[in-house]
Amino acid sequence: MSSITLESVLALAPELCLLILAIVILFIDKAFKSDNKRGLGLTTAWGSFFILLVTIGIWFFLDQPNAQPELYWGGMIRQDLVTFAFRVIFLIALLITALISLDFKGVQRSEYYTLLLTATIGFSLMSASADLIMLYIALETASISLYALAAFRKDESRSDEAGMKYFIYGAFASAVMLFGMSYLYGLTQETNIYVIAESVARSAIGDPVLRATVLISAALVIVGFGFKISAVPYHFWAPDVYEGAPTPVTGLVSTASKAAGFAVFLRVFTAGVFGPADSSNSWWAMLVAICIVTMFLGNLLAIRQSNIKRMLAYSSIAQAGYAMMGLIAAMTTIGVNADSIDGAGATIYFLLYYMISNVAAFAVVIIVSNINGSDEIADLSGLSRRSPFLALAMLLALLSLGGIPPTAGFFGKFFIFRATVEAGLWWLALLGIINAFIALYYYLSVAKFMYLYRSDDEEVAIPVSRASGLAIGLTIFGILYLGILANSTFELTRRAATAFFAG
């Protein structure tokens, strides 16, 4: 049994801080019983900002994690740069979500902010998991919190429906994934994913029955991971849940939850749990097919939407397809080489840009819907006259999601497409480029409503609170910073990606 050391405590420092913050939120609410619940949201935002600084400080000053991955807590937690990169993504998402939640009606309760924190703990542990048991516990911690958050607004039937659908689909996908993991344990008698990978690599040679069993296990596990990232055909829950859940929760589900899904997707598959990734593996072809269908279906169905949250839901499905291109490029040739590292690094960069851009869009949707009482795209008509600041933020978010320079999205897609071409999959990159042009149609259609269409209320200004203004300002800064100084950030994500292929 491993002893508790300073390094092992530092490996869980962000999660421990998040847990302490959750306890503080509950204590403040019960002890002071103030009618001003905005203080709970401000405490969550400031607390998450402090934890973000702690996480970065541990890396910068104490060199934890460093270039050499380490296993702690009985081999269940892997402390490496991948874990660090995803923790930063999750904490930024939590910070912005807490800020934009302050202006959303019906969520100003301690339970809401506590669930945000426990969901973030689950996301963070998912990215750090090196063991199937820890991975499943972390995934369920995040999922159960999100089920409750999706159904948090009891005064709206749509929220109840969203929570129930999310729970039913999620429970089914989780059970299927757990069944697939049980095959791996049955074959190897191990739960550590790196030990499983070594065992599969030794035993699968010349054993067609074992290879077939591993393929079945891979197909079942992909169901769970595919649900988490809302990839086709495991996407059915996304539009209804995105529309019915409280808008800040929708932003969190579409960004941080998706990033956590990709973190474990990359972790498990690049480790070689299901064998080396190349075109001879049947599950590799399965991932390519899911990637292509996800991009096309998400973009084509997004064109038909009149509700902004449903449009962003289908857009999120399509964005999962783009991110899968980086994942496929990374896994095409497993090993420490430029192609694999570029693919994984591009995926991490893509998820960072997508998180900032999508949360910016949902922040604007929250403010506008509070005034208009609706989430229809037509409600954005004349926004440039009612609030030039909100219109600019939404425009930058849409241009970024569409991949237009000088926004972060341009380089997010560029790095993905370049890694895919360098991996020898130029035809897949071509399909991705075609889909990027399709997506521009519905992104620019929203911009058309904001800047070209008139509204009867366009003389009535839309107020923006300081918290929302700060959150939106941070996202605008992130979109432009990642777009103008993309190379420096990409080098950091590329450096982090080497941990996927380190022993």
pLDDT at residue 415, as a whole number = 93
Give 436-448 as a 3 state SS string: HHHHHHHHHHHHH
Q: What is residue 205's predicted lDDT score, i.e. its pLDDT?
A: 53
Kindly list the distances between the CA atom of residue 35 and the CA atoms of 26, 317, 331, in Å, as whole numbers in the listed order. Answer: 14, 39, 53
| Residue-wise pLDDT tens digits, 22-60 | 999 998 888 776 666 778 889 999 999 999 999 999 998
Provide the pLDDT confidence category of residue 155 given band limits of 50, 70 and 90: confident
Collapsing DSSP to helix, strand or coil, 206 comes out as coil
Whole-number pLDDT of residue 336: 41
Q: Over the stretch 309-342, which tens digit does the pLDDT of each residue have?
A: 899 999 999 999 999 998 888 877 554 444 567 8
Contact 103, 276 (CB under 8 A): no
Q: What is the mean pLDDT of residues 432-444?
A: 93
Per-residue pLDDT, 206: 55
What is the 3-class SS of 458-478, one letter each residue?
CCCCCCCCHHHHHHHHHHHHH
Per DSSP, the three-state class of 64 is coil
Mean pLDDT value across the chain = 87
Which one, of 146, 175, 177, lies nearest residue 163 by Cα?
146
- Find all residues with CB under 8 Å of 179, minimum gap 6, and list them: 220
pLDDT value at 175 more than 90: yes
Average pLDDT over residues 129-158: 89
Looking at residue 443, what is its pLDDT? 93
Name the least confident of 47-61, 260-274, 412-426, 479-493.
Answer: 260-274
485 against 334, higher pLDDT: 485
In this prediction, residue 247 carries a pLDDT of: 86
Mapping DSSP to helix (H, G, I), strand (E, B) and coil, where does residue 192 land?
strand
Q: What per-residue confidence (pLDDT) applies to 201?
A: 74
- Which range has the worst mean pLDDT, 21-35, 92-106, 167-181, 327-341? 327-341
pLDDT value for 1? 45
Please report the pLDDT score of residue 5 as a whole number.
85
Q: Which residue has the tokens 């911690």?
A: 141
Read off the pLDDT band of 412 (50, 70, 90): very high
> Where is average pLDDT lowest: 80-94, 230-244, 393-407?
230-244
Q: Is residue 278's pLDDT more than 70?
A: no
According to the model, what pLDDT value does residue 399 have? Answer: 94
pLDDT above 90 coverage of the chain, percent: 41
Res. 85: pLDDT tops 50: yes
| Interacting residues of 280 by C-beta distance below 8 A, sequence separation 6+ | none
